[in-house]
Structure 1
Amino acid sequence: MKRLLLLAAGLLMAGSALAGPRVELVTNMGTLQVELNESSAPASVANFLRYVDDGSYNNSLFHRLIPGFVVQGGGFDTDHEPLPTYAPVINESGNGLSNLSGTIAMARTQDPDSATRQFYINLSDNLSLDGGRKAGYTVFGRVIDGEQVLQQMAQVPTGMNLKLRARDVPEQPIILQQVRRLAHGDAAH
Structure 2
Amino acid sequence: MSGRVLIAVTHLLGIGHLVRARHLAGALAQAGYEVVLASGGMPDGRAANGYRFVQLPPVRVVGTDFRNLLDEEAERATPERLGAREAGLAALARELRPDIVITEHFPFGRRQLAGEFLALIEAARAARPQVVVLSSIRDVLVAPLRPERLAEAHRRLEDLFDGVLVHGDRAFLPLEASWPVPPALAERLHYTGYLAAP
Name the TM-score, length of structure 2 as normaliser.
Answer: 0.29
Larger radius of gyration: 1
TM-score (normalised: structure 1):
0.30
Q: Which has the higher contact order (CA 8 A, sep 6+)?
A: 1
Q: Which has the higher helix share?
A: 2
